Copies of this chain bind each other. A is one copy, B any other.
Amino acid sequence: MALLEPSKYSQGSVLGSVNPDLASERQTASFSVEELTVWLDGSEEHTQKRRAVVEAIESDPVFSRENQYFQSQNERYEAAVRKAVHLQKKMHEMGWTESGPEFKYIYRAVSGDIAFLLHRVFIRSISVLGSDKQIAKWIPLATQHKLIGSYAQTELGHGTYLQGLETTAVFDITTQEFILNTPKISAMKWWPGDMGRSATHTVVFAQLYINGKCYGVHPFIVQIRSLRDHSLCPGITAGDIGPKMNFENVDNGYLMLQNVRIPRENMLNKFCEVQPDGTYVRQGSQKINYFTMTTVRISLISDEVIIPLMKACTIAIRYSVVRRQSKLKPGEQEAKILDYQTQQEKLLPQLAAAYAFHFINDYLQELFNRGYSEIQKKNFNTLPELHAFSSGFKAMVTQYSTSAVQICLQACGGHGYSSLSGLPSLYTRIIASCIYEGENTILLLQTARFLIKCFRAASAGQPVPPSVTYLAAVKPGKCPAKNKLEFLSPDIYTEAYQHMAARLVRSTAAKLQDLIQSGVKKHDAWNQCTVQLAQAAKAHCHYITVKNFAETVEKLKTEAGIQKIMKHLCDLFALHGIFSNAGVFLHDGYVSGAQMDMITASYLDLLAVIRKDAVPLVDAFDFTDKSLNSALGSYDGQVYQRLYEWAQKSPTNKQISPAYERYLKPLLHNTQSKL
């Protein structure tokens, strides 16, 4: 028993030298970590660019997140504004531009801890919804930061249901202006980012009225603060909505409008216009007004969901080979907790999901790019599929990943609960993705509506998008696999998912039909099926994710080392999904109880296989220590030392609490009656 030498612990001597328990994990990788990183990035050039951006940002002390876990909401906001402003300077210095190849790495490099994110949505909404003239006027002002923009859609009383927004914009033909108002408290804009304290302008969504007739929700550019001294403009009441579960860096705000007048030109009018005489002209679908949300929904999947999930996996898996607890065999050293089957079963499916979602994101990006180029040509045919897919996958991926991060947090025990692990902030942030840009259940039901429509169309022999032809093609049957190894065949499990998704869509469509035929009104019938409709939509997205993962692996044939481990991950993702949702596969006998036992056996076998590569698989995500900002997840695995050193910096250790003199001392000295 050596005596404690505290001096050793405070000098940080061991930090940087890799914990042998972590080092050993890296010596046995079955593939090249660097090759996998490059493949994930898309090319060596991408990897280099990404690393250059991260290095430039992280070496600049202005972007430090070192004290983030100790800061108040006010301090976080101030730091976020400082970073956002400094970023402009940095970009200029480095020669980075918004349209350049480095730009997509910046958000990752600052870990989202920055202000003016809604400023970008402001810009995007004008680019998508504005006329050429409006773009020419506003985009330069915005990109040169002569104004700070926001995006004011959500109200106290209305979120995802946009048609219900209550803010009004009345066209005044005499002055050629719109008069904006917040007619009741629930109409107050509530939640828009950058609006509480920063923004000078915002895009307000309001019900358009012309001559007393309502034309529905439209977007209007409104100035809310003076460009001279930042005071609120006449008729504007605005402020911060206060503390939230996370996003302290963002000044989510509220906004009330009282007879705020804006010129006719401030209605974004690429697709809809009010002419000087009050004539309303629409070009194309009104749904295009919500298109900004579709684009945001897709872009958030990578930035706000997959990257945080990858970080959580990195932290939890590295910690799980450093943490030793209890003994697998009596007399031996305590075991690494990742050697326990239960720990593997917690973490490795989440790791597989992180890869699965990385690939589905590529799939969605491609789908989106194809659709967007059509929309720019004013061809709106792809909008329904694009909307259905962006909705369903946003819901499925955010919900799955939120659970996954929660599992990672809990898998690290008490230390995962410490803010210093980085996991609480990853969790409290990712859970918001289930809510913003469309509440998940409502999104799933929109996807379900599309699926039911396509199923009916396909059954009637009408054409449907290729991604959903399977709905009417799948026939009753039984899974042909005869032993546990056959369940490692992508054909076998992809077909099982396809069968299951088609069955859920079909049986729910039948229930809907039955209810309507039995006299239930259409809308009641729909409501009575929504639990099952949401389940069917999720099943469809799960199926497409498995299928896309399998196809991605298939294409990897030339890179044998990586393909092998990706195949294992694909198998794990698929079998985990069957194991965890056994009921929907067993229900009609497509999979038998005996086959479910084979699936379970294969699934559990895979855990032990992938466990060997677990650390290399998270190393390949290539997060720096600064980016993880975690005492548990650093590359060197010196978790206990780092927890101890970081705790020293806490404000709770920086002062003797006044609580002693005021309350504790009188209590202990029994003089409290004097209080």
Q: What size tier do the contact residues of chain A reach? A: 35 or more
Leading 9 A-B pairs by shortest Cβ distance: A582-B583, A242-B650, A240-B652, A243-B419, A245-B424, A81-B659, A161-B326, A583-B583, A586-B586
28 contacts between A and B (CB under 8 A): A4-B182, A74-B652, A74-B657, A77-B657, A81-B657, A84-B663, A145-B667, A145-B668, A157-B323, A157-B640, A159-B414, A160-B325, A160-B413, A161-B334, A163-B326, A186-B640, A188-B640, A197-B657, A239-B652, A240-B650, A244-B417, A342-B441, A409-B431, A413-B439, A416-B435, A582-B586, A583-B583, A583-B596
A181 within 8 A of partner (CB): yes
A196 within 8 A of partner (CB): yes
A286 within 8 A of partner (CB): no
A635 within 8 A of partner (CB): no
Q: How far is the CA of A346 from the CA of B440 in the complex (A)?
A: 12
A30 within 8 A of partner (CB): no
Q: Which residues of B contact A583 (CB under 8 A)?
A: 581-583, 585-586, 596
Q: How far is the CA of A343 from the CA of B649 in the complex (A)?
A: 44
> Could you tell me if A185 and B237 are in contact, using CB atoms closer than 8 angstroms?
no
* Stretch binding the partner chain, chosen from A21-29, A252-260, A296-304: A252-260
* Stretch binding the partner chain, chosen from A129-137, A386-394, A527-535: A527-535
Interface members, chain A 434-468 (any B CB < 8 Å): 434-436, 439-442, 445
- Most chain B C-beta atoms within 10 Å of own C-beta, residue among A200, A417, A641: A417
A658 within 8 A of partner (CB): yes
Q: How far is the CA of A5 from the CA of B644 in the complex (A)?
A: 54
Q: How far is the CA of A334 from the CA of B157 in the complex (A)?
A: 11
> Could you tell me if A89 and B416 are in contact, using CB atoms closer than 8 angstroms?
no
Known: A78-B659, A657-B78. A342 touches B168 (CB 8 A): no
Query: Within the complex, which residue of B186, B588, B647 is in contact with A242, where a contact is CB–CB below 8 Å?
Result: B647
Q: Label chain A's interface by main secondary structure.
A: helix
Using CB atoms, name the residue of chain B closest to A588.
B593
* Stretch binding the partner chain, chosen from A65-73, A305-313, A374-382, A483-491: A65-73
Query: Within the complex, which residue of B197, B230, B432, B532 is in contact with A417, where a contact is CB–CB below 8 Å?
Result: B432
Using CB atoms, name the residue of chain B closest to A334.
B164
A280 within 8 A of partner (CB): no
- Digit string of A183-208 for contact with B (CB within 8 Å is 1, else 0)? 11111101100001110100000000
> Could you tell me if A659 and B77 are in contact, using CB atoms closer than 8 angstroms?
yes
> Could you tell me if B183 and A4 are in contact, using CB atoms closer than 8 angstroms?
yes
* Stretch binding the partner chain, chosen from A43-51, A146-154, A271-279, A566-574: A146-154
Known: A146-B668, A414-B159, A652-B73. A527 touches B341 (CB 8 A): yes
Measured between C-beta atoms, what is the minimum distance from A53 to chain B in Å?
A: 21
Measured between C-beta atoms, what is the minimum distance from A21 to chain B in Å?
A: 12
Measured between C-beta atoms, what is the minimum distance from A103 to chain B in Å?
A: 19
> Could you tell me if B521 and A89 are in contact, using CB atoms closer than 8 angstroms?
no
Known: A428-B428, A528-B604, A652-B196. A241 touches B341 (CB 8 A): no
Query: Within the complex, which residue of B156, B237, B243 is in contact with A650, where a contact is CB–CB below 8 Å?
Result: B243
Q: Which residues of B contact A439 (CB under 8 A)?
A: 413
Using CB atoms, name the residue of chain B closest to A662.
B82
Using CB atoms, name the residue of chain B closest to A424.
B245
A418 within 8 A of partner (CB): yes
Q: Which residues of B contact A227 (CB under 8 A)?
A: 668
- Digit string of A513-536 for contact with B (CB within 8 Å is 1, else 0)? 000000001011001111110100
A670 within 8 A of partner (CB): yes
Q: Which residues of B contact A649 (CB under 8 A)?
A: 242
Known: A157-B640, A183-B1, A527-B340. A240 touches B653 (CB 8 A): yes
Known: A145-B667, A161-B326, A664-B230. A644 touches B3 (CB 8 A): no
Q: Which residues of B contact A257 (CB under 8 A)?
A: 4
Q: How far is the CA of A241 from the CA of B341 in the complex (A)?
A: 31
A370 within 8 A of partner (CB): no
Q: How far is the CA of A73 from the CA of B4 in the complex (A)?
A: 30
Q: Which residues of B contact A243 (CB under 8 A)?
A: 69-70, 418-420, 650, 652
> Could you tell me if A198 and B664 are in contact, using CB atoms closer than 8 angstroms?
yes
> Could you tell me if A3 and B326 are in contact, using CB atoms closer than 8 angstroms?
no
Q: How far is the CA of A86 from the CA of B675 in the complex (A)?
A: 9
Known: A6-B258, A73-B651. A341 touches B245 (CB 8 A): no
- Digit string of A12-24 for contact with B (CB within 8 Å is 1, else 0)? 0000000000000
Measured between C-beta atoms, what is the minimum distance from A363 to chain B in Å?
A: 26
Query: Within the complex, which residue of B161, B230, B648, B666 is in contact with A665, where a contact is CB–CB below 8 Å?
Result: B230
Known: A78-B657, A181-B1. A667 touches B88 (CB 8 A): yes
